[in-house]
Amino acid sequence: MNPRYDFTGQVAFVTGAAKGMGLATARMFVANGASVALVDRDGDLAEREAERIMAEGGKAFSIACDVSEEEQVAAAVDATAASFGRLDMAFNNAGIQVPPSDAAEESLSAFKRVVAVNQRGVWACMKHELRIMRRQGSGAIVNCSSLGGLVGLPERAAYHGTKHAVLGMTKSAGVEYAPRGIRINAICPGTVDTPMVADMLEGQPDAMAGILKLQPIGRLGRADEIAAAVLWLCSPAASFVIGVALPVDGGFTAH
């Protein structure tokens, strides 16, 4: 997968960039000329990936940051703007799963953990990215929701709640900032082959067949298929697209 845009001279901020769809998106931004901040709680892994990109001739640097801590997010955004001089595009992607649970039994600690990363993390990232972008009067932000932002599934109340919240924040901030030259959208990935899904399937040999039954396309998504949608939303090709929740899910939410 090799979509072509000209992001030369532009700066992208990607959270959860050490692995999975965040890493695929960071690499695709670099392949299209952008300078990229790889932001991740796992600073060592993010650093290794940034070094790999630089060894291949790309412009990247890593920042260790837990998106559930607002001060760390503010510092990461400021470090990106200070290093590269601006901030044009952001993919607020860092997120976690919590184990499926009967809604009557879900623990408060799991609920707090998933809200802190998936909902408060996106809120903090958007807040501090907008601080820089509104000064410039330009920018594009893509927040990572999920098919879980569009539909409900049994035993997923907490996770799906956070992903619905991402869409509410996207739409509200999207209409607020559209007149100021900043476009904010969300993607809703279906089940994608990443370390998160590998962890989810570990020890459940029969689970894959159940997942595939729900995917009209008959396979899992690939991380680069999500990256391609993020780049499109950030590109001038999506210049009239504001506040959408774009499913990239092999047809999951179409039935």
Ligand X SMILES: NC(=O)c1ccc[n+]([C@@H]2O[C@H](COP(=O)([O-])OP(=O)(O)OC[C@H]3O[C@@H](n4cnc5c(N)ncnc54)[C@H](O)[C@@H]3O)[C@@H](O)[C@H]2O)c1
**Residues catalogued as catalytic:** 159
What's the rounded Cα separation, in Å, for the pair 50 and 80? 14
230 near ligand X, judged by CB under 6 A = no
Q: Which is nearer to ligand X, 11 or 67 (CB)?
A: 67
Compute the least distance from the CB of residue 81 to ligand X, in Å: 19
Dihedral sign from CA coordinates of 28, 71, 174, 83: negative
* 201 touching ligand X, by CB under 6 A: no
Site string for ligand X, 110-139 (x = CB under 6 A): -------x---x------------------
In degrees and rounded to multiples of 5, residue 221 shows phi and psi of -75, 165
**What is the torsional sign of CA 6, 61, 75, 14?**
positive
DSSP 8-class letter at 120: I
For position 93 contacting ligand X by CB under 6 A, the verdict is yes
Binders of ligand X among 141-160, rule CB under 6 A? 144, 146
Stretch that binds ligand X, among 2-10, 15-23, 135-143, 170-178 (CB under 6 A): 15-23
Phi, psi of 106 (to 5 degrees): -60, 135
H or E element at residue 245:
strand 245-248
Nearer to ligand X, 177 or 252 (CB): 252
- Closest approach, Cβ 34 to ligand X, in A, equals 19
42 belongs to the binding site for ligand X (CB under 6 A):
yes
Which DSSP symbol is given to 152?
Answer: -
- φ/ψ (deg, to 5) at 100: -55, 145
The residue among 33 and 161 lying less far from ligand X, judged by its C-beta, is: 161
197 near ligand X, judged by CB under 6 A = yes
Identify the residue whose tokens are 């179409």.
254
Q: Does 40 bind ligand X (CB under 6 A)?
A: yes
The one among 195, 208, 219, 251 contacting ligand X by CB under 6 A: 195
Give the C-alpha separation, 148 to 25, whole Å.
21
Which one, of 75, 233, 23, 77, lies nearest residue 141 by Cα? 233
Q: Which is nearer to ligand X, 22 or 243 (CB)?
A: 22
* Binding span for ligand X by CB under 6 A among 11-19, 28-36, 134-142, 227-235: 11-19
Residue number, 134 or 206, with CB nearest to ligand X: 206
Alpha carbon distance 41, 253 (integer Å):
31
Per rule CB under 6 A, is residue 41 in the interface with ligand X? yes
Helix (H) or strand (E) holding 13: strand 11-15
Site residues, ligand X (CB under 6 A):
15-16, 18-22, 40-42, 65-68, 93-96, 117, 121, 144, 146, 189, 191-192, 194-197
